[in-house]
Amino acid sequence: AQTVTQSQPEMSVQEAETVTLSCTYDTSESDYYLFWYKQPPSRQMILVIRQEAYKQQNATENRFSVNFQKAAKSFSLKISDSQLGDAAMYFCAYRSPGGRGAQKLVFGQGTRLTINP
């Protein structure tokens, strides 16, 4: 079974600075997807960024980028130029490739990110 671990329960950063959230996972599969989701106080899970394991290039979405290290099974999220609206709970998630329980997401415990003005 796959597991996802986020070792930082809480992180804080000054507005406009950069912060990195850590995530490690365990799997015996060679092909899979990794995600970072954001959950603000409204409780709705919002997809921040995704990474396909077969792609060597790290995914980026505006101020959000990942450092995907497949051999080390590490998937960290870097937020640049942090904004007050980035304050939320961040979850790292794993999903097997399509066709086998395809939509089941395995989540880490989450990291609560605080942005200090």
Binding residues for other proteins (CB under 8 A) = 33, 35, 37, 42-47, 50, 52, 91, 98-99, 101-110
- Judged by beta carbon, residue 2 or residue 80, the one nearer other proteins is 2
We find the least distance from the C-beta atom of residue 111 to other proteins, in angstroms, to be: 12
- Judged by beta carbon, residue 42 or residue 56, the one nearer other proteins is 42
- What are φ and ψ of residue 28, in 5° steps? -105, 0
We find the least distance from the C-beta atom of residue 19 to other proteins, in angstroms, to be: 21
We find the least distance from the C-beta atom of residue 98 to other proteins, in angstroms, to be: 4
What is the 3-state secondary structure of the chain? CCEEECCCCEEEEECCCCEEECCEEECCCCCCEEEEEEECCCCCCEEEEEEECCCCCCCEECCEEEEEECCCCEEEEEECCCCHHHCEEEEEEEECCCCCCCCCEEECCCEEEEEEC
We find the least distance from the C-beta atom of residue 11 to other proteins, in angstroms, to be: 17
- Judged by beta carbon, residue 25 or residue 37, the one nearer other proteins is 37
